[in-house]
Structure 1
Amino acid sequence: MTRKVVIVTVIGVLVGAIGGYAYYHFIGCASGSCAITSKPLNSTLYGSLMGGLLFNIFVPKPKQEK
């Protein structure tokens, strides 16, 4: 893995974690029965996973020589 891949993925994880916590804080789950949004830790971890995966899509693949 190159340095660029790591940096972009870490930025995605951070943005996702902030987004996940913001989702918990502003929307959340009133009844407490939602698996992801009932606790801030679950929501933050899920957001960071999704953010890392999403940002990792935008890293260009290295060209392979024939």
Structure 2
Amino acid sequence: MKSKLKKWIRPALFILGGALAGLVYYYFVGCPSGSCSITSTPLNAMVYMGIVGWLLSIVFGNDCPGGCDM
């Protein structure tokens, strides 16, 4: 049970961090005209950046495919 929980901690933190970054980006930069598809609403920005965070968690994951015994 602990190993499954530990497996999902990094992606969850990256997703939450990405969503927070999306909200901050919307708040400070945003799209005042509303014509931008990603930053027109805070929800869109948070979802997009959350997905980017999830992808980054995959890239920066330290799971060794063949094992970490070297």
TM-score normalised to the size of structure 2?
A: 0.79
Displacement of 1:2 in angstroms is 4.7
1:12 paired residue number:
14
**Mean Cα deviation higher: 10-19 or 50-59:** 50-59
Q: 1:12·1:56 contact (CA, 8 Å) conserved in 2?
A: no
- The reply to whether residue 62 of structure 1 matches residue 65 of structure 2 is yes
1:21 paired residue number:
23
Aligned residues: 64
Displacement of 1:61 in angstroms is 3.0
Q: Which amino acid aligns with 1:62?
A: P
TM-score normalised to the size of structure 1?
A: 0.83
RCO greater where, 1 or 2, for CA within 8 Å and sep 6 or more? 1
2:35 paired residue number:
33
How big is the alpha-carbon RMSD for the aligned residues of Structure 1 and Structure 2?
Answer: 1.8
- Percent sequence identity is 42
Structure 1 runs of 4+ aligned residues shifted over 6 Å read: none
Consecutive unaligned residues of structure 1, counting only runs of 5 or more, are: none
Consecutive unaligned residues of structure 2, counting only runs of 5 or more, are: none
